[in-house]
């Protein structure tokens, strides 16, 4: 099957154990993650040949980030080594009415300060069939945005399918900046992935009648959003994840896939007792890319992606450590949680 490359930042994630607040803990769980890296791990878990591309310092912390990916079978041979620091994010897990909290310390990371010469896209994309990035990558800085554009142009030349998860991060750039830069990149994208708010935040495209904080979703509205995106950028597919957040432990989760004509809606999962919702969107992206590459029909592809990301919410860390068999089992209707002996 097609080799996939994802491109972005992988950060050191530092999180107090359990439900401790930052001010209580004496140790921080140290794992690694980031939107595109998370997708690469999903794909490797599903058996695809997936490579993650970034820049990481030569020191031991940089190496730990590499190891965290190799461990799950991601090809790290294209990672550029250099720069000074690994980006960091601090994560405090919330519960119920107390929200989870993220503090970013990612400025000046190796990838954020990388230059175009660091990446030889012709070589990197040799033999590759699918390229994935998220809106976080160009948001890291003008330099990285330009590197993205280089990559996308090379993809176009080589006929590589491109997917992008809009993933707007307000602490990285303003809506205006996002719109300007993303508008330049979108024409190269074939599959656009977004959550309920991204289209509005990045492109000002809204669906009437949906209040994100209210927890109520308007299906027609989302189809309209997807259609506007297709009209504007010519995407082949637009996927939108639909999260209804009842509390930090309890979300409803579903998604829509639109092919420019029909909107497919998935089953909705009531996700209680959430273990870790960071990376939920990325796990959807990973499931969708896997499904499309492996030739599933659109409804099946969507259902696989949603079931995969449902399971992610029950797994610690950014990475969605589930196999195709485990996703398929949930799809098959066994959400009873009976012990598998």
Contact (Cβ atoms closer than 8 angstroms) between residue 145 and residue 181: yes
79 is an interface residue for a second copy by CB under 8 A: no
Query: Closest distance between a second copy and the C-beta of residue 87, in Å?
Result: 10
The DSSP line for 97-151 is TBPPEEEEE-TT-TTTT--GGG--HHHHTTTEEEEEEETHHHHT-HHHHHHHHHH
The smaller minimum CB distance to a second copy, of residues 208 and 273, is found at: 273
The smaller minimum CB distance to a second copy, of residues 250 and 296, is found at: 250
Structure tokens at 264: 């497919």
Stretch that binds a second copy, among 127-135, 136-144, 225-233, 319-327 (CB under 8 A): 319-327
| Cα gap 298→236, rounded to integer Å | 12
Q: Which of 126, 180, 297, 334 binds a second copy (CB under 8 A)?
A: 334
Touching a second copy, residues 198-217 (CB under 8 A): 213, 215
325 is an interface residue for a second copy by CB under 8 A: no
Burial label, 265 (beta-carbon count in 10 A; 0-12, 13-18, 19+) = buried
* Residue in the structure block whose two tokens are 């009531």: 270
The smaller minimum CB distance to a second copy, of residues 72 and 143, is found at: 72
71 is an interface residue for a second copy by CB under 8 A: yes
The smaller minimum CB distance to a second copy, of residues 159 and 337, is found at: 337
Q: Which of 142, 275, 299, 328 binds a second copy (CB under 8 A)?
A: 275
Structure tokens at 28: 């921080």
Strand pairing partners for 257?
A: 239, 264
DSSP 336: S
Query: Closest distance between a second copy and the C-beta of residue 89, in Å?
Result: 9
* C-alpha distances in Å from residue 239, one per residue of 210, 258, 293: 17, 6, 15
Instruction: Tell me phi and psi for residue 56, to 5 degrees.
Output: -135, 145
Stretch that binds a second copy, among 110-118, 121-129, 133-141, 330-338 (CB under 8 A): 330-338
Structure tokens at 313: 């919410």
Q: Which of 24, 142, 174, 299 binds a second copy (CB under 8 A)?
A: 24
Angle in degrees, CA 327, 330, 335, rounded to 5: 145
340 is an interface residue for a second copy by CB under 8 A: yes
Query: Closest distance between a second copy and the C-beta of residue 276, in Å?
Result: 8
The smaller minimum CB distance to a second copy, of residues 15 and 263, is found at: 15
Structure tokens at 227: 């259609």
Q: Which of 278, 292, 301, 306 binds a second copy (CB under 8 A)?
A: 278
| Cα gap 96→108, rounded to integer Å | 34
224 is an interface residue for a second copy by CB under 8 A: no
Q: Which of 82, 228, 314, 324 binds a second copy (CB under 8 A)?
A: 314
Angle, helices 324-331/298-312, rounded to nearest 10 degrees: 110
The smaller minimum CB distance to a second copy, of residues 17 and 187, is found at: 17
218 is an interface residue for a second copy by CB under 8 A: no
Size of the site for a second copy (CB under 8 A): 87
17 is an interface residue for a second copy by CB under 8 A: yes
Q: Which of 13, 55, 85, 223 binds a second copy (CB under 8 A)?
A: 85
100 is an interface residue for a second copy by CB under 8 A: yes
Q: Which of 82, 94, 129, 221 binds a second copy (CB under 8 A)?
A: 94
Long-range residue pairs from 204-211, CB within 8 A, at least 24 positions apart, any chain: 204/175, 204/179, 205/229, 205/232
Touching a second copy, residues 232-271 (CB under 8 A): 245-251, 269, 271
The smaller minimum CB distance to a second copy, of residues 280 and 285, is found at: 280
């Amino acid at each position: 099957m097609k080799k996939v490359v994802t491109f972005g930042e992988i950060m050191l994630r530092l999180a107090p154990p359990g439900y401790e607040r930052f001010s209580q803990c004496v140790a921080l769980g140290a794992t690694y993650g980031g939107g595109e890296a998370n997708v690469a791990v999903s794909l490797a878990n599903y058996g695809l040949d997936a490579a993650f591309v970034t820049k990481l310092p030569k020191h031991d912390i940089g190496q730990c980030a590499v190891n965290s990916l190799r461990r799950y079978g991601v090809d790290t041979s294209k990672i550029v080594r250099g720069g000074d620091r690994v980006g960091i994010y601090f994560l405090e897990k919330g519960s119920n009415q107390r929200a989870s909290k993220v503090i970013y310390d990612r400025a000046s990371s190796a990838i954020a300060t990388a230059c175009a010469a660091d990446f030889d896209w012709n070589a990197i994309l040799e033999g590759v069939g699918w390229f994935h990035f998220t809106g976080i990558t160009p948001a890291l800085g003008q330099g990285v945005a330009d590197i993205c554009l280089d990559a996308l142009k090379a993809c176009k030349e080589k006929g590589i399918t491109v997917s992008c998860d809009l993933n707007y991060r307000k602490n990285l750039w303003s809506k205006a900046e996002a719109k300007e830069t993303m508008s330049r990149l979108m024409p190269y994208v074939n599959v656009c992935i977004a959550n309920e708010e991204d289209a509005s935040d990045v492109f000002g495209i809204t669906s009437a009648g949906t209040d994100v904080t209210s927890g109520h979703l308007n299906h027609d509205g989302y189809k309209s959003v997807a259609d506007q995106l297709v009209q504007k950028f010519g995407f082949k597919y637009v996927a939108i994840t639909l999260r209804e957040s009842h509390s930090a432990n309890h979300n409803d989760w579903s998604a829509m896939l639109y092919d420019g004509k029909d909107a497919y809606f998935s089953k909705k999962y009531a996700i209680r007792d959430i273990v870790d919702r960071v990376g939920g969107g990325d796990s959807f992206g990973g499931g969708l890319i896997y499904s499309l590459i492996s030739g599933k029909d659109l409804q099946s592809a969507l259902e696989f992606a949603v079931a995969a990301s449902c399971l992610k919410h029950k797994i610690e860390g950014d990475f969605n450590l589930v196999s195709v068999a485990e996703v398929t089992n949930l799809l098959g209707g066994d959400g009873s949680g009976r012990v598998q002996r």
